[in-house]
Structure 1
Amino acid sequence: MLKLGVNIDHVATLRQARYRGREQGEPDPVRAARICEEAGAHGITCHLREDRRHIVDRDVFALRRTVRTRLNLEMANTPEIVAIALQVKPDIVCIVPERREEVTTEGGLDVVAQEPALTETRRRMNDAGIEVSLFIAPDPPQIEAAARVGAQFVELHTGRFAEAFGDPAQREEELNRLVEGARLAHRLGLRVNAGHGLNYENVRWLHRVPHLVELNIGHSIISRAVFTGLARAVRDMLDAMAGYTGGMPGAA
């Protein structure tokens, strides 16, 4: 079964628009996480950015106390955030690139250029009982470097696929990159997640990508929740993901 991790960052984005710098505010991302779990989500994802633009420290600690499925902390490989992750002890961290000027994480991590530093952080996380994923483009050199780092997972960046979705030729090209990237990662002993730009329309096409464990989806679910409610939005996404056969013949 293909699992769904719901990214709740944009619940916090809405809160911060009115309550930034305050101890309380609405909507509460911790309550959102609880609703997502009750609706069937298999995990909760949040990104503690260096500028704290949405999720803040108290959210992460509160989520660790309340999440009953699987808490995935997205993070930059910086000393401050690494130290917080080691305190929080999420089930898994996903190390991502981070630029202050971007609206959301754009592009994959350059594992090749950061291999020694990422290997050290991976070791520290694993020693603390935390699994490690690296958010990367489906490019062979990056996948091979992720295996050398010793990560347990890669999360394949689906942004280019999402952006090309309206162009059949480009969509096919990007989908094939994901297929080949997932196959290589699996051969190298890595488990495979995917995410970025996925929505209710394009997610079904990922049924062709083999070896997927989990999709991490946020913006599309939170957007639909404005009109349908969060629980219904999560259930609708689970319906859209249903029927995954691991990329084998018969997949949607």
Structure 2
Amino acid sequence: MRHTWARDDLSPSQAVVYDRLLDLFAAGEYEETEAKARALAAAPRNVWDRSPVVEWLAGSLATAAAVAHGRGAEVLAELEALIADLERTTGAGRALLLTVRGNRVAVLVEQGRYTEAEAEAGDILRAATRLAHLTKVWEIELTSLANLADALYGQGRYEEAIAIARGNLQRAEGHTAAALHCVLVRSMNGQGRYEEALAEARWLTPDWGRAGSGALGIATATALHGLGRCGEAEATARQALSSCEQFLHPAHPRIREARTLLRHITAEDPLA
């Protein structure tokens, strides 16, 4: 997210560097984004003659790249320190704080800390409403809703997760649309509605980007397995696992999820 309030505090050369980092992140080049963002954050002040905003933006982007790559647990303490530092921002500057808090929620979901994630996502949504008259907050709102739906899914509250996904999918785009779509399919699976889940998975396939590698494939394989179509389920699960292993960090929890699903499918398939 290009925080326009912060760009006013960047020099032209800083803005060029920051925009290049954002483009790298959007292209899924997470390792390079993180490394260069950390270098930007660590550059001596006499090089940039900068305000703290440069460090905040660079730190936010570095940790976001780590989370997207699958190293959220590794940077959780760093996220929390950055959040504490950003608490001193005011006005529209609070948008960056909410963005970083949203990344922390994503990590909490990955760690199975669903009640904490639910509470934090709800608080971010309330805070975003209070900022709406100062800056654009729709991206923050939709990301928080997707995180909230994931947290509800993790608690087995499938009906609530489905309501959030259906209610916001049409106005979302890119990664957020893909995340809402996937939690919708997963929640239908959770309810045992495998035919509907499979139809939903195949009806819409938003562009996940690298961060979403394997997610929809896992949900699709789950639906196929629920329908007893074990051969198709296994092939889909293997493809999802391959995608995860190719594009995500080895520590990403989705890799473990794909392997667990594949073992479950093959253990029940007498032809495997």
TM-score (norm 2): 0.30
**Relative contact order higher in (CA < 8 Å, ≥ 6 apart):** 1
More helix per residue: 1 or 2?
Answer: 2
Instruction: Give the greater-gyration-radius structure (CA).
Output: 2
Larger fraction in strand: 1
